[in-house]
Amino acid sequence: MAGNDTLTVGVLALQGDFREHLAVLRGFGADAVPVRRPEELDSIDGIVIPGGESTVIDKLSRIFGLAEPLKRALAEGLPAYGTCAGLIMLSARIVDGIAGQESLGALDIDVRRNAFGSQTESFEVDLEVPAIGEPPLHAVFIRAPVVERVGDGVKTLATLRDGRVVAVEQGNLLGTSFHPEMTDDHRFHRYFLDKVRAAR
């Protein structure tokens, strides 16, 4: 892990928009590093699991031998933030996963993949998120999942107007259906870094 002042935050870099997360985290002064091998988990204070294809990220995490060590690290308290596909990866159950698809089982939630339809049905909306304060957060949803069940220890951070849950936290874990790395509003990354700092 890095020195006393600098947080070392990994970004799972198997597939998806990991480069954008690395850039945002570095903008906050974190030592942001791509994670592709199990041994790299030993040197980080927290991890971001980016958007992309959840089925591909799952498959590659197992091929690279990362899935089981990452599950153990999360169970032992490693802070993690999952966006879009990353939220699916962190979930306890994928309602509509493809045959053989696995998740990391860390967040006590059930998630539905592509809950809003195909890429052509991507949309943007302003969300009230009391945990990160005012003003409302402009959120980008791209083939986004939705949280269908929230466990007892999970806090809902944001919902759409129809009540569907799109942001949650549970202890050191944070998840959003949307992509904050694709806008100029990075309060969720700052919120996560505060979690990482507190956990360290």
- Provide the CATH number for the domain formed by 8-199 in this structure: 3.40.50.880
- Whole-model pTM: value is 0.95
Instruction: Give catalytic status of residue 102 as yes or no.
Output: no
Which DSSP helix (H) or strand (E) runs through 59? helix 54-63
State how far the Cα of 180 lies from the Cα of 17, in Å rounded to an integer. 11
pLDDT tens string, the chain, 200 residues long: the values are 444 579 999 999 999 999 999 999 999 999 999 999 999 999 999 999 999 999 999 999 999 999 999 999 999 999 999 999 999 999 999 999 999 999 999 999 999 998 887 666 789 999 999 999 999 999 999 999 999 999 999 999 999 999 999 999 999 999 999 999 999 999 999 999 999 999 98
The pLDDT assigned to 2 comes to 43
Q: Domain extents for the chain?
A: 8-199
- Active-site residue, selected from the candidate residues 84, 169, 186, 189: 84
- Active-site residue, selected from the candidate residues 21, 181, 186, 189: 181
Parallel, antiparallel or unpaired: strands 155-159 and 165-170: antiparallel
Instruction: Give catalytic status of residue 181 as yes or no.
Output: yes
The pLDDT assigned to 27 comes to 97
State how far the Cα of 101 lies from the Cα of 88, in Å rounded to an integer. 11
- Active-site residue, selected from the candidate residues 21, 169, 179, 186: 179
In degrees, rounded to 5, the angle at the alpha carbon of residue 166 between the alpha carbons of residues 160 and 170 is: 135
Helices of type H across 65-186: 67-75, 85-90
State how far the Cα of 153 lies from the Cα of 83, in Å rounded to an integer. 20
The pLDDT assigned to 155 comes to 98
State how far the Cα of 94 lies from the Cα of 147, in Å rounded to an integer. 10
The pLDDT assigned to 120 comes to 66
Nearest by Cα to 178 from 35, 82, 74, 54: 82
